[in-house]
Amino acid sequence: MAEYAFCTLFNSLYLIRGIALIESLRATQSQNPIYVLCMDTETYKVLCDLNLPQIQAIPLEKFLDSRLTQIQKERGVGEFCWTCTPFLIEYVFKTSSFKRVIYLDADTYFFSDPDKILKQWPLEQPLMLSRHRYLPEYDQSKNSGIYCVQFNGFDNSNAGKLALNWWKEKCADWCFNRVEPKRFGDQKYLDYIEDECQISAYIPTHPGEGMAPWNSKDIHISQIEKTPMVHVLGSSAVPAIYYHFHGLKLFYDSMVDLCLYYYVLPQTVLQYIYGPYVKHLAQISNQYGWDQKYDWLSDAEEHPKRTAKRQQLGTYYRYKIEDLLTAL
């Protein structure tokens, strides 16, 4: 049996991205089970119908208890998803015998085997945290936290369970999409988990881990045998492990909005990171006939506003998907 399992959660507004995440992991030859908390009935139905190998789809009604049911009534959809993250990790431990459980955000995507990171996680450290790695011009760590809930793991030791329970109780008590002293969503709590729980966390330093729009501006990517390679000043290129496609949106008219308006994406990141991801999303949508449902959104007011700001800043990353893929 595998020593560790992955887990993630998403609803039908992230269904295409969730399946892309799963397929990207399988493409790296990772065979570790993936537990998916289905945040709506449609997502559970689709995953059951697809019957993907080594996927454990969890229906929300089976997951909820009286406490979470009450919390759900008091929080927005996104806030409730955040709240459920530590509960999901705990659920996997309680229903399995894995030594470690790693949570993945649904809009992350793997380009090479995560074992390159996970094999470096020392046995004596019960927790793994992933840094935002903000560039100075995008640094939001004061509000959003040093760490990002994107690729985080706990082990089943007493120390690991203690830390997980501490985080779970914090999220149960307060988990909202607003900034308050020492807290923001489920994320800011992780800045204090080591001190509060008297533990030491493993913090990956691999350059290909935790890539995201807020740290991509100065990254140079090349490609070797279809694997994106991250070039680090003064050292050899290393494989990209995963990218966090925060802020990416799909629209009914086959448009893609790549990221928030103030981020700058280099051409090589567009070509070797965003290009393959958007192509994969489009393939999944076409394969299952989902071009008018699930992840695809109407053109909400937010995005014309983004466009106006982008025109001011010269960071225009909204494309017709076919045009983007042709250009790259």
Task: Enumerate residues 6+ apart whose C-beta is below 8 A from 265.
Answer: 213, 216, 217, 258, 259, 274, 315, 317
Question: How many Å apart are CA 162 and CA 168, to the nearest integer?
Answer: 10
Identity at 108, one-letter amino acid code: T
The residues facing 183 across adjacent strands are: 180
Task: Enumerate residues 6+ apart whose C-beta is below 8 A from 164.
Answer: 86, 89, 90, 93, 154
pTM (predicted TM-score): 0.95
pLDDT confidence of 287, banded at 50, 70, 90? very high
pLDDT confidence of 162, banded at 50, 70, 90? very high
Identity at 264, one-letter amino acid code: V
As annotated, the residues of the chain forming the CATH 3.90.550.10 domain(s) are 4-202
Dump pLDDT digits (tens) for 244-278: 999 999 988 899 999 988 899 999 999 999 999 99
Q: What CATH code would you report for 4-202?
A: 3.90.550.10
Asked if 137 contacts 262 with a C-beta cutoff of 8 angstroms, the reply is no
Look over the chain and give the mean of its residue pLDDT values, rounded to a whole number.
Answer: 94
Dump pLDDT digits (tens) for 143-153: 999 999 999 99
pLDDT of 302 reads 63
Angle between helices 15-27 and 275-287 (to 10 degrees): 110
